[in-house]
Amino acid sequence: VTNPLLDILAADRVAAVTCNSAEMAEVVLQAAEERERPAVRLVSEHALLLSSGSRLVAALVAMTAASRFPAVVQVDHMHVLETVESALAAGPQAIKADGSAGFRGQRSLHLAGRGPRAKARGGRGSRARRASRRRRRLRISMQASAASATDPREVREFLARTGVDCLAVAIGNLHGNYVAPANLDWELLRSITRLVDLPLALHGASGLDRVDVIAALHLGIRKINFNTEFRTAWFGAMSGRIRERERGASQLELLDEVRR
């Protein structure tokens, strides 16, 4: 049995988009379906830790079944080992362990290496056992990233020791809005691509020039993560429509317009 995220990455290049609500996930699925593309929806560790977090992940996973094209849910940027276990219980197909603490700091190794084998927590009832068997069958895909800039000399050891399926490179990409034009290190990306034969991910794509995105795809990036750009567009559309609603539009119309 293979993992659905790895199947997508083997066949195609994909945009991964952070979704803070089922409505946002619906927009991502609709956009992907219109383009006849697969979709990866991300839930941040921060969102997972909210009281609504595991139900949000479960809802997004359930939406996958009604999608006409391959779609998966990944819990993104996990820092805390205990949270990885509760994330697994919510049923995502992939988890990204955050290595920003540094490869040498061992934390990311531990975090990423533990994930696929993490056991279901709580009761020993047959439901828990079935869930745990299903997770083993699905093989949760693990992605990890290296410290501030990926050091090509460490990549092979990092992959061997973590057993991750996907590597998020740090080549000068940043999260949030770029304050200055991005200065991505293409030579570094080339040297990483030559070293590995697993899919590479690029985070922090909001605000990147289209030419940079295309260059990254040419140089071996298979998955590109967006958050800020989508979130800004979403809340911008929402607040504009809410002002209009005060003039009488219905809630359903409002949500339908924001989706578009």
The site for Zn ion (CB under 5 A) is made up of 203, 225
Closest CB to Zn ion among residues 41, 203: 203
Q: How far is the CB of 240 from Zn ion (least distance, A)?
A: 27
Q: How far is the CB of 203 from Zn ion (least distance, A)?
A: 3
Closest CB to Zn ion among residues 203, 223: 203
> Is the CB of residue 223 less than 8 Å from the CB of residue 9?
yes
The single-letter code of the amino acid at 131 is: A
Nearest CA-CA partner of 84 in 94, 73, 99: 94
Nearest CA-CA partner of 202 in 228, 170, 178, 179: 170
First-residue to last-residue Cα distance in the chain:
36
> Is the CB of residue 163 less than 8 Å from the CB of residue 112?
yes
Q: How far is the CB of 206 from Zn ion (least distance, A)?
A: 10
The torsion defined by the Cα of 7, 204, 39 and 190, in degrees rounded to 10, comes to: -30
Residue 97: enclosing H or E segment and its boundaries?
strand 94-97
Q: Which residue is nearest to Zn ion (CB)?
A: 203
Q: How far is the CB of 253 from Zn ion (least distance, A)?
A: 34
Q: How far is the CB of 35 from Zn ion (least distance, A)?
A: 22
Q: How far is the CB of 88 from Zn ion (least distance, A)?
A: 20
Joined together, the tokens standing for residue 15 give 């945009």
Closest CB to Zn ion among residues 135, 203: 203
Closest CB to Zn ion among residues 53, 99: 99
* 30 burial level (CB within 10 Å; 0-12, 13-18, 19+): middle
Closest CB to Zn ion among residues 107, 135: 107
Closest CB to Zn ion among residues 134, 175: 175
CA dist., res. 142 & res. 55, Å (int):
21
Closest CB to Zn ion among residues 97, 219: 97
Phi and psi torsions of 20, nearest 5°: -95, 0
The single-letter code of the amino acid at 203 is: H
Q: How far is the CB of 16 from Zn ion (least distance, A)?
A: 9
